[in-house]
Structure 1
Amino acid sequence: MIELIEVLKAVLFGIVEGVTEWLPISSTGHLILLNEVVKLKVSDEFYSMFEVVIQLGAILAVVVLFWSQIWPFGRKNNVAPLTKRGPGAWIKTDIFKLWFHILVSTIPAAVIGVLADDWVEEHFYNYQMVSVMLILFGIAFILIENSHKGKNVRIHTLADIGYDTALFIGLFQLIAAIFPGTSRSGATIVGALLIGVSRTVAAEYTFFLAIPVMFGASILKIAKFGLDFSTSEVIILFVGCVIAFVVSLIVIRFLMGYIKKHDFKVFGYYRIILGIFVLACGFLGALHA
Structure 2
Amino acid sequence: MNYLQALILAIIEGLTEFLPVSSTGHMVLTSSIMGIAHDDFVKLFTVAIQLGAILAVVVVYWKKFINLNSIDFYVKLAIAVVPALIFGYLLNNFIDDKLGNPIFIAIVLFLGGIILLFIDRFFKNPTITSESEISYPKAFKIGLYQVLAVCFPGLSRSAATIIGGMQQKLTKSAAAEFSFFLAVPTMIAATGYKLLKGHELLNAQNIKILLFGNAIAFIVAIIAIKSFINFLTKHGFRIFGWYRIVVGLLIIGLYLAGVEINVF
Q: Which moved more, 1:116-125 or 1:270-279?
A: 116-125
> CA–CA distance in 1 between the matches of 2:100 and 2:175?
27
Would you say the 8 A contact 2:29–2:102 is kept in 1? yes
Q: Report which of the two structures shows the higher radius of gyration computed on alpha carbons.
A: 1
How much does 1:115 deviate?
2.3
CA deviation map 1:41-71 (0-9, x unaligned) = x973222211110111101111100010222
1:228/1:47 CA distance change after superposition, 3 Å: closer
> CA–CA distance in 2 between the matches of 1:146 and 1:100?
31
Instruction: Report the RMSD for the aligned CA atoms in angstroms.
Output: 1.9
Unaligned runs of 5+ in 1: 74-91
Q: Which moved more, 1:221-230 or 1:153-162?
A: 221-230
Partner of residue 32, structure 1: 28
Would you say the 8 A contact 2:119–2:237 is kept in 1? no
> CA–CA distance in 1 between the matches of 2:115 and 2:55?
29
Are 2:91 and 1:116 aligned? yes
Would you say the 8 A contact 1:170–1:188 is kept in 2? yes
1:124/1:30 CA distance change after superposition, 3 Å: closer
Would you say the 8 A contact 1:144–1:194 is kept in 2? no
TM-score (norm 1): 0.85
CA deviation map 1:94-123 (0-9, x unaligned) = x32122111111111101222221232125
SS for the counterpart of 2:137 is helix
1:217/1:47 CA distance change after superposition, 3 Å: same
Match of 2:40 among 45, 48, 61: 45
> CA–CA distance in 1 between the matches of 2:233 and 2:64?
19
Which amino acid letter does the alignment assign opposite residue 122 of structure 1?
D
Are 2:249 and 1:253 aligned? no
Partner of residue 253, structure 2: 280
- Equivalent residue pairs, number: 262
How much does 1:15 deviate?
0.2
Which amino acid letter does the alignment assign opposite residue 189 of structure 2?
G
**Equivalent residue runs for 1:265-276 within 5 Å:** 265-276=238-249
Partner of residue 76, structure 2: 101
Identity over the aligned pairs, expressed in percent? 35
How much does 1:174 deviate?
0.3
Unaligned runs of 5+ in 2: none
1:57/1:123 CA distance change after superposition, 3 Å: closer
Would you say the 8 A contact 1:17–1:58 is kept in 2? yes
Partner of residue 63, structure 1: 58
CA deviation map 1:197-227 (0-9, x unaligned) = 1011111000000100000000001110115
Kindly report structure 1 stretches of 4+ aligned residues shifted beyond 6 Å. Answer: none
Higher helix share: 2
> CA–CA distance in 2 between the matches of 1:158 and 1:222?
31
How much does 1:270 deviate?
0.9
Which amino acid letter does the alignment assign opposite residue 220 of structure 2?
V
CA deviation map 1:104-149 (0-9, x unaligned) = 111111012222212321256412221222122222222121344x
Partner of residue 241, structure 1: 214
1:237/1:39 CA distance change after superposition, 3 Å: farther
Would you say the 8 A contact 1:153–1:196 is kept in 2? yes
TM-score (norm 2): 0.93
1:269/1:123 CA distance change after superposition, 3 Å: closer
Partner of residue 11, structure 1: 7
Would you say the 8 A contact 1:26–1:183 is kept in 2? yes
> CA–CA distance in 2 between the matches of 1:258 and 1:281?
31
How much does 1:288 deviate?
3.9
SS for the counterpart of 2:2 is helix
How much does 1:188 deviate?
0.6
Partner of residue 202, structure 1: 175
